[in-house]
Amino acid sequence: MPLALHPATESLLHGVIAPAQDEPRPSSSTRSRCRRVLHRNGGVVAEVVPNGKALGRAQELAELYLKAPEVTRRNTRVHFIQPLKERIVREVGYGLSLEGSSSADLVKSMRGTAAERTSTTS
Amino acid sequence: MQPHQADYFTAYHYVKLTRDANGVLIVQLHTNGGPCIMTAQTHTEFVEAFYRISQDRANKIVILTGAGGDFITSVEWSSFGKVADPGVWSQIHDEGVQVLENIANIRVPVIAAIEGRAHIHSDYALLANVIVAAEGATF
């Protein structure tokens, strides 16, 4: 039996181009082109919409995703967040340690600059 | 109280939570209803808010967004006190790790809807499955 994804699941998996309701569904060649573009750009922003329309579009996407079965939806999220979760556990504490000591150094250097300023003006 | 309203929905000063009958939860980060400014208080509050959101199976989809045409605009550093103090930084460190773990632990699709400035903690939005950005969004 060939495997076919429900359109809502497919759009969730790829994070792209679920068409707005008044637009025709993009052709498969358009979809693969978008995926390539997203892949090249790191896939950070899936869609750009006019100012003031982001939440409305997010709600449209939510409605689309709700057509997929619940466990599928949950497991799709679980699967795609897994690599990021692993990196969060490994790397965020380290990053925050660097940020902490850098912040302390910044405060110290500002204090030094303030002292210099005081000594030159007095 | 509406039947789909959970007890934690009204627990936060800087997180507005609204959920429709289909279980789509809108998480709006804000400061006094306007654009969100990071402070020591929001830093603490977001940790718990995302923890509760992640636990609540009545949330079927989560939409993360800002308020007043922005996501998070800036940081009020003075609210954190002496960041060079190890005790102060320890709290920032722990919350900083936990908030990301808690967002990553949301086990339903997360959609970020970004308007305007996402200049601080755009990493929250990066943990969404899909980011929808308005034309004027800057990161």
CB-CB contact of B112 with B128 (8 Å) = yes
Whether B72 and B36 have beta carbons less than 8 Å apart is answered as: yes
Number of domains in chain A: 2
* Closest CA in chain B for residue A98: B93
Place of tokens 């086990």: B107
Question: One-letter amino acid identity for A103?
Answer: S
Interface touch A45/B108, C-beta < 8 Å: no
pTM: 0.82
Extract the tokens encoding B86.
Answer: 């190890």
> Within 13 Å and on the Cβ side, how many CA atoms surround B67?
16
Q: pLDDT value at position A36? A: 40
Comparing CB atoms, the residue among B23, B93, B134 nearest residue A49 is: B134
Whether domain B49-139 has CATH 1.10.760.10: no
Mark whether A97 and A59 lie in a shared domain: no
Please indicate, yes or no, whether residues A93 and A64 belong to a single structural domain of this protein. Answer: no
CA dihedral B45, B103, A46, A78 (to 10 degrees): -160
CB A44 within 8 A of CB B131: yes
The conformational region for residue A93 under phi > 0 = left, psi -120 to 50 = alpha, else beta, is: alpha
Q: Inform me whether the pLDDT recorded for B35 exceeds 90.
A: yes
For chain B, count helices (H), then strands (E).
3, 7
Query: Which ipTM score applies to this complex?
Result: 0.94
Window 49-78 of B: residues touching A by CB (8 A cutoff) are 60-61, 63, 65, 69
**Do residue B69 and residue A52 have CB atoms under 8 angstroms apart?**
yes
HSE, CB side, 13 Å, CA atoms: give it for residue A104: 13
Q: Which of A24, A45, A68 is the last residue of a domain?
A: A68
Question: How many CB atoms within 10 Å of residue B49?
Answer: 23
C-alpha triplet B10, B14, B20: angle, nearest 5°: 50
Residues B50-67 pLDDT 10s: 999 999 999 999 999 999
Report, as an integer, the average pLDDT of A81-87: 97
Are A3 and A60 in a shared domain? Answer: yes
- Are residues A63 and A85 both part of a single domain? no
Interface of A with B in 16-45 (CB under 8 A): 16, 44-45
Whether A61 and A82 map to the same domain: the answer is no
Q: Is the pLDDT of residue A15 over 80?
A: no
Structure tokens at B94: 């722990």
- B12 φ/ψ angles, rounded to the nearest 5 degrees: -120, 145
Domain encompassing residue A106: 77-122
Last residue of a domain, one of A68, A89, A111: A68
Residue A41: DSSP 8-state = T
The pair phi, psi for residue B131, each rounded to 5°, is -115, 120
Instruction: Provide, for chain A, the percentages of residues in helix, strand and coil under a 3-state DSSP scheme, each rounded to the nearest 5.
Output: 70, 0, 30
pLDDT for the residue numbered A22 = 44
- The per-residue pLDDT for range A29-63, each reduced to its tens digit, is 444 444 444 444 555 899 999 999 999 999 999 99
Check whether residue A58 and residue A94 sit in a common domain.
Answer: no
- 3-state class of A59 per DSSP? helix
A110 to chain B, any CB pair closer than 8 A? The answer is no
B85-122 tens-digit pLDDT: 999 999 999 999 999 999 999 999 999 999 999 999 99
